[in-house]
């Protein structure tokens, strides 16, 4: 490091003091003695990596959503609230908190009648979806199929390839291919035959009233509710507006008709009615990102302060020399602050690269363990 010398200034000679340029001193120190700043650089880089990784998780949690799948063709969906809301008394203040329910909350299927009577509604379907298996005479069983009421075909697109819609004690069997296709998956079942189905409500025998080219099993709407394992309860109510009706206005009228007994959902919020784990994943990601990110930020502040203090202590002779040739304490403080500002941006930018990799790995581990639902992507 080299310094320019000057003649002794006369008393009150201000220009001589301004000849010590703190930014120039800082740049020279970083340039000619980079080893003095390695500790600060590494500490800030690692802190930036952890903070940026946690920030990506926090942002993903704040914006987490999944597009509707089953209800993609339904403009308005009514479903039970999948969160428990509570008021926490904090003495003089009260805080509103919520937590996802451990099991799927359902609503009274009779509410479909109230929704159907709303002006502008063409049809309201009390929808259920549950697993069933087709049993064979030899004791085998098909792969697990999704069963629902025939009314769901009005928005899922499934249709008949033969036969008719199911009535009481009847079922429509899908003839789509599944793993190990054969009679056990319904591909060998014909109209009029009797089949035994293992449902959440027990093993029942049904007459095949028709077949469909879509994989699955369909009962009558009342029959589906009876064998779903929760009689009288619907997963959601699919509201189909009349042609030309405004979906937003219909949603408002349906919400008023149900009078708080169900949440009325539109847009991407309709996916919440499908029993997705988005609320739980959102809470987890925000908790992890916020807590770890906050701790990492505080550690970064104290670590950077400690490394800067150590670097200053190791250069005490250098600062003493600068004081001897006329540098003021304020100039030295500004030089030290400038040195930190020269190192911090580079460490922060470079730290975002491993931080992104950390977030991708962390998010992948959460998804592999089932804490984050499939289809939810890291927001970056």
- Calculate the alpha carbon distances from 354 to 46, 165, 225, 262, 357 in Å: 8, 57, 51, 44, 5
Task: Please write down the long-range contacts of 320-329, taking CB distance under 8 Å and 24 or more positions apart.
Answer: 322/3, 322/20, 322/25, 325/3, 325/5, 326/6, 326/9, 326/16, 326/17, 326/20, 327/20, 328/17, 328/20
Which tens digits make up the pLDDT trace of 323-370?
788 777 887 777 777 767 777 788 888 989 999 999 999 999 998 888
Alpha carbon 190 to its chain centroid, in Å, reads 43
Which tens digits make up the pLDDT trace of 34-73?
666 677 788 788 888 988 999 999 999 888 777 888 898 8
Which of 14-23, 24-33, 58-67, 93-102 tops mean pLDDT?
58-67
Q: How many CA atoms lie within 13 A of 159 on its CB side?
A: 2
> 294-304 b/e with 16+ CB inside 10 Å = b?
eebeeebeebb
Q: Please check the confidence at residue 234 and state whether its pLDDT lies above 50.
A: yes
Residue linked to tokens 């008719």: 164
Which tens digits make up the pLDDT trace of 249-299?
999 999 999 988 899 999 888 888 887 677 778 888 988 888 888 888 888
Residue 194 DSSP SS3: strand
Q: What is the pTM of this model?
A: 0.66
Q: How many CB atoms lie within 10 A of CB 163?
A: 17
Which tens digits make up the pLDDT trace of 102-115?
778 899 999 999 99
d(Cα 236, Cα 124) in Å, to the nearest integer? 10
Q: Please check the confidence at residue 158 and state whether its pLDDT lies above 50.
A: yes
Q: Return the domain boundaries, the chain.
A: 14-61+281-368, 107-278
Q: How many CA atoms lie within 13 A of 81 on its CB side?
A: 10
Alpha carbon 220 to its chain centroid, in Å, reads 35
pLDDT band of 27, cuts 50, 70, 90: low
Q: What percent of the chain has pLDDT over 70?
A: 85
Which tens digits make up the pLDDT trace of 176-201?
534 334 444 445 678 888 999 999 98
- Calculate the alpha carbon distances from 68 to 49, 251, 266 in Å: 34, 17, 10
Residue linked to tokens 């077949």: 211
Average pLDDT, integer, range 200-213: 91
Sign of the four-CA dihedral 352, 354, 359, 360: positive
Q: How many CB atoms lie within 10 A of CB 219?
A: 29
Residue 173's pLDDT is 92
Average pLDDT, integer, range 128-136: 89
CB 118 within 8 A of CB 245: no
Q: What is the DSSP letter of 294?
A: H
d(Cα 240, Cα 50) in Å, to the nearest integer? 47
Q: Please check the confidence at residue 13 and state whether its pLDDT lies above 60.
A: no
Question: Which one is predicted more confidently, 285 or 305?
Answer: 285
Q: Please check the confidence at residue 6 and state whether its pLDDT lies above 60.
A: no
Residue 66's pLDDT is 79
CB 328 within 8 A of CB 17: yes
d(Cα 353, Cα 346) in Å, to the nearest integer? 12
Q: Please check the confidence at residue 157 and state whether its pLDDT lies above 60.
A: yes
Average pLDDT, the chain: 81
């Amino acid at each position: 490091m080299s310094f320019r010398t000057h003649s002794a200034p006369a008393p009150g000679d201000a220009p001589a003091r301004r000849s010590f340029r703190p930014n120039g001193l800082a740049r020279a120190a970083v340039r000619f003695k980079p080893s003095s700043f390695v500790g600060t650089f590494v500490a800030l880089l690692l802190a930036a990596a952890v903070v940026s990784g946690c920030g990506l998780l926090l942002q993903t949690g704040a914006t987490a959503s999944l597009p509707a799948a089953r209800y993609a063709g339904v403009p308005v969906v009514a479903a039970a609230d999948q969160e428990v809301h509570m008021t926490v008394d904090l003495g003089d203040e009260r805080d509103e908190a919520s937590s996802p329910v451990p099991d799927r909350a359902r609503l009274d299927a009779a509410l479909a009648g109230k929704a159907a009577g709303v002006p502008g509604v063409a049809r309201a379907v009390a929808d259920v979806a549950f697993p069933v298996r087709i049993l064979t005479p030899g004791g085998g069983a098909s792969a697990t199929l999704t069963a629902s009421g025939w009314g769901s075909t009005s928005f899922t697109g499934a249709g008949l390839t033969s036969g008719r819609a199911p009535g009481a004690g009847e079922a429509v069997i899908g003839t789509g291919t599944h793993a190990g296709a054969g009679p056990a998956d319904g591909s060998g079942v014909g109209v009029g035959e009797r089949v035994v189905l293992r449902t959440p409500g027990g093993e029942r025998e049904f007459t095949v009233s028709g077949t469909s080219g879509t994989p699955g099993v369909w009962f009558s709407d009342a029959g589906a509710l009876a064998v779903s394992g929760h009689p009288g309860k619907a997963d959601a109510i699919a509201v189909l507006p009349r042609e030309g009706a405004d979906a937003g206005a219909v949603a408002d009228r349906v919400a008023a008709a149900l009078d708080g007994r169900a949440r009325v959902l539109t847009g991407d919020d309709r996916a919440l009615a499908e029993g997705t784990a988005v609320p739980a994943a959102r809470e987890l990601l925000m908790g992890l990102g916020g807590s770890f990110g906050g701790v990492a930020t505080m550690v970064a502040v104290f670590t950077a302060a400690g490394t800067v203090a150590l670097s200053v202590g190791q250069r005490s002779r250098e600062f003493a020399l600068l004081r001897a040739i006329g540098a003021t304490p304020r100039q030295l403080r500004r030089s030290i602050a400038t040195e930190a500002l020269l190192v911090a941006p580079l460490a922060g930018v470079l730290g975002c690269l491993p931080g992104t990799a950390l977030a991708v790995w962390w998010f992948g581990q959460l998804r592999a363990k089932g804490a984050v639902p499939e289809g939810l992507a890291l927001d970056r």
